[in-house]
Amino acid sequence: MRLNTLALAAISLLCIGAAQADSGKLLLTGGVSSIDGAAGGGLTPWAVIGSNASAGEIGATAHFTRVNTNDYGLNAYGAAIGIFDRVEVSVARQDLKTGITGTALGLPGLHLRQTIVGGKIKLAGDAVLDSDSLMPQIAAGLEFKSLDSSGLDPTLDALGAKRRGVDAYVSATKLFLGQGILVNGTLRATKANQNGLLGFGATLGGARNSYRLQPEVSVALLLRKNLAVGAEYRKMPNHLQTAGQAAGLGDGLRAQDWKDLFVAWAPSKHLSLTLAYVDLGTIVPATTDKRRQKGSYLSVQAAY
């Protein structure tokens, strides 16, 4: 079954689940929607299960996110279902406007579009109920990613990059409720180049085309029950650098780690807004004069 079909099925389930949840969660303790659709921070998943649903309930979220950097623009939207505060199913659709890079490749107006279907299961702990102990909430997840066919296909083929891939991760989230501090650590196994928007892995020039373990860290401070500030760091794999060197581009395909500083505000239990300053490092520096991709992140999430 194609991922786009799975996406439609997940959104249909969303409509069923939304009517069943009556919030038992504290504001913001279910996280926000990441750009990949899973509940957590903006750039990385957490061990929390999205939606307002607590144990015995089914809930849902929907989100829209816009990221603008010096040379690129990304729209991401999707939905997720939280089942009994133990299982999460999510779907996200990403659309990257390549700007100057597409023009340099002779493909002005090029968009790279990707569908991500995710699943997450809570393995142990409870972020809120265990907040007075050192026990974190622990969850494991998978993200199935599929990059649409585009004018970039011949370039990806030449680099030995695939258009489909799977990420696997384990997250641990610790909430110190009395101090209003949340800390999350995620370890991701991935082949994704720039989160999959530039394909998965590479083989040209003997590039190491294997899964790599990448750490991701989030820290948030709850200023009020509905307002949090924080930061995220996500280490990115660099599969394309060796392939780019073999293609005569030097470090022109080098990837760098992602970071952000964010503010999350929940004016009600059904709505949250996240605003962030992002630094995504260099993305295809061969066409962007090695500029770091810094800019803004704005996300709106509805939760039930």
CATH number of residue 195's parent domain: 2.40.160.40
Contacts of 15 (CB under 8 A, 6+ apart): 60
pLDDT the model gives residue 24: 60
Query: Could you give the CA distance from residue 9 to residue 226 in angstroms, rounded to a whole number?
Result: 32
pLDDT the model gives residue 194: 97
Query: Could you give the CA distance from residue 123 to residue 240 in angstroms, rounded to a whole number?
Result: 34
Q: Tens digit of pLDDT for each residue in 141-167?
A: 999 999 999 999 999 999 999 999 999
Phi and psi, residue 14, nearest 5°: -55, -45
Other residues' Cβ atoms within 10 Å of the Cβ of residue 181 = 15
**Percent of the chain surpassing pLDDT 70:** 92
Domain hosting residue 224, numbered range? 3-303
pTM over 0.85: yes
Phi and psi, residue 281, nearest 5°: 65, -155
Query: Could you give the CA distance from residue 189 to residue 142 in angstroms, rounded to a whole number?
Result: 10
What's the Cα-to-Cα distance from 249 to each of 182, 189, 241, 297, rounded to whole Å? 42, 27, 9, 30
How many structural domains are present in the chain? 1
Mean pLDDT of the chain: 91
pLDDT the model gives residue 6: 47
Region 32-49: what's the mean pLDDT?
96
Contact 115, 146 (CB under 8 A): yes
